[in-house]
Amino acid sequence: MILKTLPVLGILCLCSLVSASQSSAAPSDSASYFLEKGLQEKANGRRLESFKQFEKAATYNPNNKAVITELASASFDLRRYPQARDYYKKLVELGDNSAATYKQLMTLSYNLRQQDDVLLYASKLKQADPSEKVSYYIGKINYDQENYGEAIKHLTTAGKEDPQNAEVPYMLARCYADMQNYKQSIPFFQKAIELDPSKNNWIYELSLIYYAIHEDKSALKYMLLAAEKGYKRDNEYLENLGIAYLNAGELEQGVAILGEILKKRPSDMNILNMMAEAYYFKGKYQQAMDYWDQMLAYDKENASALYMIGMCYQKKGEKEKGQRLCDKAIEMDPSLASLKKEKKLPGGL
């Protein structure tokens, strides 16, 4: 009986030896095994499955450069950008100083709003490959940090590196506009729009720049063009368009546009006042009075509206009646007395 058990014991010993042999396999062998499986899945177009295999490989050898390279690439392809950035940074730690790796880190850091890292990796990329175009990224980060001098310097270089990139002159325009150097910004806005005419928001911004420097015809021209290119005609746009028409001397178009807003916002005091002033300065005093009357209907204590109604009566030849209304408005708001003395209108007009 004892002899019969010996083969069984031999088999058990053999199994133990095999098991021990498998468990003692080098981690690098296991990493290579899963790396190869991952590469096969990648070749078959199964990106998620390949990523899982590469992750397994990394558990056996987290410093295997080939594995980390594949993990970085797979993470990027799967749009796991923060994870991809970490893997590319790991590659740098493992001694990868290639331009390709620095470029990925620069663009990923830019898209993930890691501003200091954008500057860091842009510098390293330029050192690794002097032909790489990094000035736009450096200029954009300096703009975001409100360092306009540096932004202009690098964006000017970016314009030479890539003359067809419409974002470059647009960012230069924004630099000058943010410093309220509106006239300097205009040529850059125009260049940006020339390179990309589809950007209706850029066209609208240019119209507001012209508005700010009182070039009313140009403001109206670009505001209308923005709408033609698809800019949304919301209340803010319509209000600015109405003002642009009025400033350009086109009363009927201006009040028609502002009238559209009043249908939606009938008690908007600012719009009512603008329409009243527009008619007043065109000498249409009755229409002006009608709108100031509407303001008084909503706010009986509005001394400025009452004062202007008094001015309208005086302009129409009813001086005594107009003077009484102006005096009553001054009683309500004594600050209006200075306007009467200096022959000004409310609001410094």
213-233: pLDDT as tens digits: 999 999 999 999 999 999 999
Distance, in Å, from the CA atom of 252 to the CA atom of 138, rounded to the nearest integer, reads 48
Among candidates 257, 180, 268, 158, which has minimal Cα distance to 171?
158
User: Has residue 8 been placed in a domain?
Assistant: no
Mean pLDDT computed over 137-154: 96
Is 70 exceeded by the pLDDT of residue 47? yes
| Residue 341 belongs to a domain | yes
Query: Quick one: average pLDDT of 125-138?
Result: 96
Q: Could you read off the pLDDT of 78-110 as tens digits, one per residue?
A: 999 999 999 999 999 999 999 999 999 999 999
Give a yes or no: residue 43 inside a domain. Answer: no
Question: Which residues span the domain enclosing 339?
Answer: 268-349
- Rounded Cα distance, 250 and 203, in Å: 21
| Residue 204: inside a domain | no
CA distance 219 to 54: 58
Percent of the chain scored above 70 by pLDDT? 89
Does residue 302 form part of some domain? yes
Cα angle: 53, vertex 58, 64; to 5 degrees: 120
Residue 345 sits in a domain whose CATH number is: 1.25.40.10
Residue 115 domain flag: no
In a domain, 340, yes or no: yes
In-domain check, residue 347 = yes
Residues 6+ apart with CB under 8 A from 142: 148, 150, 151, 154
The tally of domains found in the chain comes to: 1
CA distance 19 to 276: 95
